[in-house]
Structure 1
Amino acid sequence: MVSVSCASATLVVWTSAWLHGAAAADDVLDALQAWADLHEVVADDDGTATALDLPGPDEAPVGPALLLAALRRAGTTTGRLALPVPGDVRGLGGKGPLSTCALRAGEAVVLPDTGVGLVPKIVADGVMRWTVFDLPSASGAEHVPIGEAEHGLASAMRQAATALVTLDVARHRPNVREEIAALSTKHSKLEWPAGMPPRAVRVLQRAAEVTAILEVAAGDSPGNAKSASAMQARDDALRPLSEAVRRARCAAVEEAVRVLSDQAAGLH
């Protein structure tokens, strides 16, 4: 289970704001500090390294400021968040290093007009490395309207709530509401650009609440039992909710990128 917020979402939204004049480069770098004290960038292969003028796999990494400069030179205009899970790696160009690494991380940044994808990984205490991969093809990405994602999240939450009551999940756990509230707050404590659309923020916050419920439920023994059947029933109840969260997060980030781009277009 990955948290509702992730480094890739931060990079997509803030880089989009910067590319469209709604944020400064320093704002992007400051936002990334929420995920690690130090960020470094390296290309996965020599071809991608040459194309973007970034260090290759056998060279010393550089800082994210040079990544932003490379994206500007490459004419990058948009990006999107990918949250791959086993059986669904759409939008990552099929089987290859990018989809393999993104699946392991559970997240990626996709820059279709530049033909690359980026995957973050903690490589040392306080150090996050972004590896830039070639994107073989940008086809196959799912577009989910934010209204549909928001409705799906609410629907899945109602269904899961009913199932979890039936399964007695967290019934014997003291202060479970406080635990969920604390987790929800932790997941939603992130700064977003000034032009961030309120609906996207609302969906991300709701996804944070649902993710907190998922974390508490996933760590609980249904009905205080540890039988395989009880665990399976709990997992079956949580799966649709987890998928709804994933769709909602991607839709919210996509909506943010669209609105920030449209705002910039309206200023010119």
Structure 2
Amino acid sequence: MLQNTGGSRPDDVFDEPRSGRLVAWGNAWLNGATSPDHAADGIRGTDDRHAVEGVDGADGAGLTLALGRLRALGATGLRLALPTAGHPLGLTGPAGFNQQALAVGEAVLTVGAPLPLGLVPEVVGHGPEGDRLIRVLWRAAPVEPGVPADVPQLRDAERELAEALREATALLMRLDVAGGGPAVQRALEAYRRRREPELLAPGYPPRAVRVLQSARQVRALLALAAVDHGAAVSAGEMTAREAAMRPLGRAARRATVAAYNAMVDEPAREER
């Protein structure tokens, strides 16, 4: 039985968003830093199949043909959006597309085309847990041209993340998250054992890789703090902890978007 699993896999909060993989490897290919086949493999990751719907001349096609068609339509790059309620990070409109992106928490926007498109992933799993086939359908729709909402420059994101890391570390120490129960202990140990995947794709600047690595560390710390509500035992303590962590999550998302979009945005900023 088919089941819509949403925009990202819920069993691993540390996985990069599928829209991030599409942006990173799509930009690498559009800039000549990798081959079409390697780009398609990087975008798919461990998924079984990706297809694209709504791109003129490539409706229902696989990744390689769809990327080629986007370039033929004038796309010179891709940008990531990671919106949440009240924070349309990386989006440009219209409202209908923004709502679709918000529903899954991610989207991709084309850059350079006369008629820009946005793509939102629809993820479907088939089969039992542990032996599931994951298929992704990217639904494309027109979006408005313009500057994406609230995306910082890479250097500003790096500075903001450095401050966020210090605050997150101090917060976890105050809450004694490592002593917050068996679930926290298991999550912390799993993260320590985790081998970090290759970040971004060929052609990205080293600063973008550093910023994304920092953003992943902040996300990991926040996820661990949320397990079993950390060591907070009262409603007041839980409310205070959530309020303290909220700006850290926002900073991590902004930095993540800035890192993935660096191949498009940073050269453009240097030219201005």
**Normalized against structure 2, the TM-score is what?**
0.80
- CA RMSD, 1 decimal: 2.8
2: CA distance between counterparts of 1:177 and 1:209?
17
DSSP-derived class of the 1:69 partner: helix
Instruction: Give the letter for the 2:217 counterpart.
Output: E
The answer to whether the aligner puts 1:217 opposite 2:218 as a matched pair is: no
1: CA distance between counterparts of 2:220 and 2:153?
24
For the 8 Å contact 2:89–2:149, the answer to whether it is kept is yes
Q: Per the alignment, do residues 259 and 139 of structure 1 end up closer, same or farther by CA in structure 2, a change over 3 Å counting? A: closer
**Normalized against structure 1, the TM-score is what?**
0.81
The answer to whether the aligner puts 1:113 opposite 2:124 as a matched pair is: no
DSSP-derived class of the 2:177 partner: coil
For the 8 Å contact 2:229–2:238, the answer to whether it is kept is yes
Instruction: Give the letter for the 1:236 counterpart.
Output: A
The answer to whether the aligner puts 1:127 opposite 2:135 as a matched pair is: yes
Over the matched positions of the two proteins, sequence identity in percent amounts to: 37
Task: Mark the runs of 5 or more structure 1 residues left unpaired by the alignment.
Answer: 44-48, 56-60, 263-268
Q: Per the alignment, do residues 189 and 165 of structure 1 end up closer, same or farther by CA in structure 2, a change over 3 Å counting? A: same
Q: Per the alignment, do residues 98 and 62 of structure 1 end up closer, same or farther by CA in structure 2, a change over 3 Å counting? A: same
DSSP-derived class of the 1:117 partner: strand
Q: Per the alignment, do residues 167 and 144 of structure 1 end up closer, same or farther by CA in structure 2, a change over 3 Å counting? A: same
Q: Which residue is 1:46 aligned to?
A: none
Partner residue of 1:237 out of 244, 254, 262: 244
Task: Mark the runs of 5 or more structure 2 residues left unpaired by the alignment.
Answer: 1-9, 127-133
Partner residue of 1:246 out of 253, 267, 270: 253
Q: Which residue is 1:6 aligned to?
A: 17
2: CA distance between counterparts of 1:224 and 1:232?
9
Cα deviations by residue, 1:74-103 (Å, 9 ceiling, x for unpaired): 111122111111112154333533211111
1:174-213 equivalences under 5 Å are 179-180=187-188, 182-183=190-191, 186=194, 188-190=196-198, 192-213=200-221
Instruction: Give the letter for the 1:100 counterpart.
Output: Q
1:1-268 equivalences under 5 Å are 3=14, 5-43=16-54, 49=55, 52-55=56-59, 61-114=60-113, 115-125=116-126, 126-173=134-181, 179-180=187-188, 182-183=190-191, 186=194, 188-190=196-198, 192-223=200-231, 225=233, 227-257=234-264
For the 8 Å contact 2:181–2:231, the answer to whether it is kept is no
Instruction: Give the letter for the 1:104 counterpart.
Output: A
2: CA distance between counterparts of 1:194 and 1:224?
42
- Pairs aligned (count): 249
CA shift at 1:252, angstroms?
1.1
CA shift at 1:185, angstroms?
6.9
